[in-house]
Structure 1
């Protein structure tokens, strides 16, 4: 409006100054026609001048002034079209081209500006300072006022943004109702008003309609913003007599006091809570909405609460950042594109390689990353796929390398790919390239059915097949490359342990640790007294002289013809002693019972002590040098000898005057926290050792060996549920027995029990080697987490969902995501030196011990 005022001032000034003998015209040329400061310049034409002109290029004013300025370059006939205008009154050339016409009005002065703009004649617009070919007229709403007019400057276009303003191109183009879909309501009052259907436009473009029934039985219908204060107060006090609605002309129907829509309501991070409030909407025909930032909900509620730009966003089918739905409580979903494969290979084997179980993910309860919305993970031999949307999901996936996340593109699940990409493939039956359940699996051939060879993945072996291979390792072949079990093997050999003591000391000292085998027809073990070395392997692999020695039947060679038969200690009289190197004798982990590396008849076990009585070395007499033997023979106080196998047991060398003393029945820390306990003097100053034991009641006890009764001493000495020591201070403080820890709670007492458990698990009430962790979920959602010794079938018989697991803290997952994960897995055998393959047999016990040890480490 400012440019109009400037023009008026200049025009009045010009009128006062002009001569009656010539016209006054607006004058500009080129850039001065597009400048707000110069477009309104006025010129007094020469005496006798009777015409003004204006020239245009399209809708852009390029020149105007007195007709005489053209100096005859433009004939009169050529200034009658749209690009040129000639006129004969003062200031007549101040308008735009003749086709630039618009409806110009305000609903403050003319209500037709809102309801019937087509009834208002368009007028020619004033000259514009820009080319308005693309935007010539505007319609806008300012508060409750509707305005229409001409576009004449860049400022008008720049200010016309959003849903409350719109420009258009064409003569009189803004003569239509604005905005499209502007609310119309029935407006009436009286006894017959409830049946009225004639509607009119509301002053507020996006208003609601209302119908109310007064206590005298009469009705009122109107736009909500037009309600009187008395009617508003009445509706607040009598909600059952008032009905609000938001659809176009929605109060044409009779009064409807049906219950309004109920929608979940939240804002910001409140939308990530596990529990969200629900509210009743203002309008009876309302819909629910959810708005998202990426995949994270940032606002939920009733659509009528939104501004019009926000409503337009929700109505745009192509805008997925806002989603609407039309049933009660329907707006607690995730983003429409948050879809993932959701499966477990326990229930669906295709989950491993070809999942086809797409789901729309639950509403997230923690922030969903822009680059991680789905996951694939492997737990043992189980493959799981699912959604990332909770803290537990993210924690479980972040804490293991056996989990992969991915980002969704185009609304399609991203976790379909084989994981891991290098998952091994084996021949199964007669079909190659079959992915195994365990990604790091091995392929196997089993000759357990006559001439028929069974080919499969190692993790798919039945219990009977595992037992067969344990007893007949030369009839089972394992390998670790894709389809490596494709070429059938002739199982016509024995497996013989293969080693040399000059390369591997275990060949002599600990034959149970040998796991290298060769394929042979006869096994042999050869001892050379001259070099004090031992060799195990195939008889055929020995030199001719060595084979001759074995054939002679002497005591230096032993042959056998059964599978893995050459593992025994040799010679049979070789003594076994506890051993440790200097500096390792104060640690239980550094002490081992081994056969003497040097074979000597009449050998003995040795314990060497320092001046304070602490053990400094354990081993065999034959391992000492001549000078060490001389020193040892000269001092029985610092060097002790004995002749029986294992007689230098470090549990009994010098005594233990002080020990950790406690019971878990009175102090639970006695189980796993005793390392911080202060040792206490024993009742007997000559106490032989400290002990840690498991009583028959399941209680852990620690104390002085001499305090035990005779029966308990016998059991402890035999290692029955007891461990003895005296090698260091607080030597009986190590955790004993190593126990499983489980989350233990009941949602009836603690509702948080249903959620993912993020704290620390606790020891089971009493120790039992059969203890397992359970999560039991009933039909109504009640959840119990506990320890138990029962079978899954017995513990879970009455439950809707149930999970049993074997590792400390493993029963932590949110109750709604419980699925079986414990799959019996055959023992993974070791490798052989013959062609990189493997067979199971007598050394399987060692492998089981290793697996149990690893499990116990995790339980800590």
Structure 2
């Protein structure tokens, strides 16, 4: 073989070797495309290396892709292949119940990065009430994702609080746990669709907050401790201090107090315990609008309910809405309804037909007949008599349904006709004569 032919053969062999060299993606996770968009990163022609690989570093979760020797890629956190541009292995987050953060955080820390082998999907699911994340080849969720099982096909797509609608509660204890206004609630460790948050404490220094499903919960489901307050109205609902100052609108009249309040609410004289959710109240009673602090509410006002025209609320100055104060009076005649004389309190009031700036109810007796009603609806003579303080045939009052008193004996006697008075006299004399 001549020298020229030898050189040509060498050149051909070198060219063939170059043509057969692998092309692999070459990058690390300092470039986010190395995880999220591998096709956009540079490739490299491998020299003396026969595999492409993708691996994650234990502990840091750093992702690297490149060329390597056949035995340089240990299983578990490194996977290899032997075709051009084949090292596109998907990266998923991997963690389980041994790590509370897997359930209680987004799990987006780089340390959770895991390279998947034949899988092209990531999964997050609930197992035994705790979250598990990782790689998946087959879909254990079935034909569709559910609230507790989710499969996705993008890199690290299995991050995020899961399930999305799981309850978040404040979780702490002791003195740092009294004021959590600047803290963010966190997911409960165990997933329970009916989860509740709780608060318990004997003082500001002994407050405990958590999730009812916690294995060491101070206020687990079924607990009858009267110091346990549970809630499920919103995430972080267990945020009340041991005692808190509150402010409410406080007034009582039939006019200004009934209108929507736009001034500043007044601080209540007593602090409110965390066990007392209601802070302010509004009520309409006897034609008056009443507003105030729930903890200072008079027991004589009855329970605060729809039946008593009372509403309560749980935020500062929340009792500011306008109130519908309709003035009513008992309206009846004793010659039409027997209960009108002595049992008017059980009749119930009716709205007056007319209204005036000074609403009044009246009751009185004329010629043996008891009349009750709205003074604004009465005729001129009745109005005159009722407004005359010297005329005790009629009386007035200024709150709704206040005209329920029975007529007194003196007014009854004065209102009887002369003829009836004479009959009474004759009856008395006759009785006296019979005794004699």
Normalising to structure 2: TM-score of the pair?
0.35
**Highest CA radius of gyration, 1 or 2?**
1
Normalising to structure 1: TM-score of the pair?
0.19
